[in-house]
Structure 1
Amino acid sequence: MKIMSNEQLVVSYRDALKSGSEKEWIQILKMEIKKRGLKPIKAK
């Protein structure tokens, strides 16, 4: 799934979490984020 840039991937994941309706999509995005070594949560 190298269709999205890293930024697009993280934004999509955050949007999916906010909506909370598509559990399968959230899991797919989460796996891809882990595979790329990204951190989807904003640092405070």
Structure 2
Amino acid sequence: MRVMTNEQLVAAYRDAKKNDHGDNVVRLLKSEIRKRGLNP
């Protein structure tokens, strides 16, 4: 995964969830968000 700011990470998560990019992508982004202590 490329390095992203917190805002980019949350935006990528919302986009992946909205456009159904696959469970693996959504799960990966969500786990990274949790590691950083953010709220999607």
State the TM-score, normalized to the length of structure 2.
0.89
Unaligned runs of 5+ residues in structure 2 are none
Identity of aligned residues (%): 52
Across the two proteins, how many residue pairs are aligned to each other?
40
Tell me, what secondary structure is at the counterpart of 2:38?
A: coil
RMSD: 1.5
The CA deviation at 1:22 is 1.4
State the TM-score, normalized to the length of structure 1.
0.82
Deviations 1:1-44 (A, max 9, x none): 5700000000000000101131100000000000000001xxxx
Unaligned runs of 5+ residues in structure 1 are none
